[in-house]
Amino acid sequence: AQSVTQPDIHITVSEGASLELRCNYSYGATPYLFWYVQSPGQGLQLLLKYFSGDTLVQGIKGFEAEFKRSQSSFNLRKPSVHWSDAAEYFCAVGPVYGGSQGNLIFGKGTKLSVKP
Amino acid sequence: AAGVIQSPRHLIKEKRETATLKCYPIPRHDTVYWYQQGPGQDPQFLISFYEKMQSDKGSIPDRFSAQQFSDYHSELNMSSLELGDSALYFCASSFRLAGLILETQYFGPGTRLLVL
């Protein structure tokens, strides 16, 4: 069965430091991978997505993610974290049903706190 | 740019009451997804519609029903509400290109339902 694992429930980094959020997936074929961010009490905002092609994808707000098939990973990175990045981050995989994307399966999320 | 609209944003109901949540997708989007996010949980897929027909079904209770209308908006009807139904309900929309798998789901701000 398809699944997404985010091993880190909570991460704290200092403002200006680099960030890497881990995401591993289990999927029978090439997945469609997404990172969403959720601020407290808010909806889910798409940061970036991977469908095919270049394995390093750029997103909004200075985020990037790298798809590594050999490691079944899609880790999210940012070289310098800003206080406004404090939020919860969800990795998701889009299974394919009959040629359409179907629903998303989410990881449990990683809560990011940023120290001044 | 226009986003997904959900109404109401907040809803308080008592046990055994009914509730109706509405979702207005991004213009030209033809697919709607419903997700439920319990407190501290990841979003769980409930149901989706494409061109007014049910497309996929997830962990939606029998007490819930949904439909998509001719203008592509969707409503989630919830009856015999239980305390455990208290959650954030997200709607997402996408544009499903026939024969292609290029959907990206864009999420609304959610409806926060509290059942007392």
> Would you tell me how many other CB atoms lie within 10 Å of the CB of residue A99?
12
**pLDDT tens digit string along B61-70?**
999 999 999 9
Contact A42 B55 (CB under 8 A): no
Sign for the CA dihedral angle at A73, B47, B33, A96 comes to positive
Contact A44 B102 (CB under 8 A): no
List chain B residues with CB under 8 Å of A101: 94, 96, 101-103, 105
Counting Cα atoms < 13 Å in the Cβ hemisphere of B113 gives 30
Q: Which of A96, A103, A109 sits opposite B45 (nearest CB)?
A: A103
Contact B45 A51 (CB under 8 A): no
Residue B50: both structure tokens together? 């494409």
Contact A103 B109 (CB under 8 A): no
Determine what percent of chain A is predicted with pLDDT higher than 70.
Answer: 92
**pLDDT tens digit string along B14-47?**
999 999 999 999 998 888 999 999 988 889 989 9
- Rounded Cα distance between B105 and B116, Å, is 31
B16 Cα to chain A: minimum distance (Å): 26
DSSP code string of B83-104: GGG-EEEEEEEE---TT-----
A32 Cα to chain B: minimum distance (Å): 9
Contact A100 B103 (CB under 8 A): yes
pLDDT value of position B33: 92
Q: Which of A35-39, A69-73, A84-88, A91-95 has the lowest mean pLDDT?
A: A91-95
Give long-range contacts, CB 8 A cutoff, 24+ apart: B13-18: B13/B81, B13/B113, B13/B114, B13/B115, B13/B116, B14/B81, B14/B115, B14/B116, B15/B81, B15/B82, B15/B83, B15/B115, B15/B116, B16/B80, B16/B81, B17/B81, B17/B115, B18/B77, B18/B78, B18/B79, B18/B80, B18/B81
pLDDT value of position A95: 61
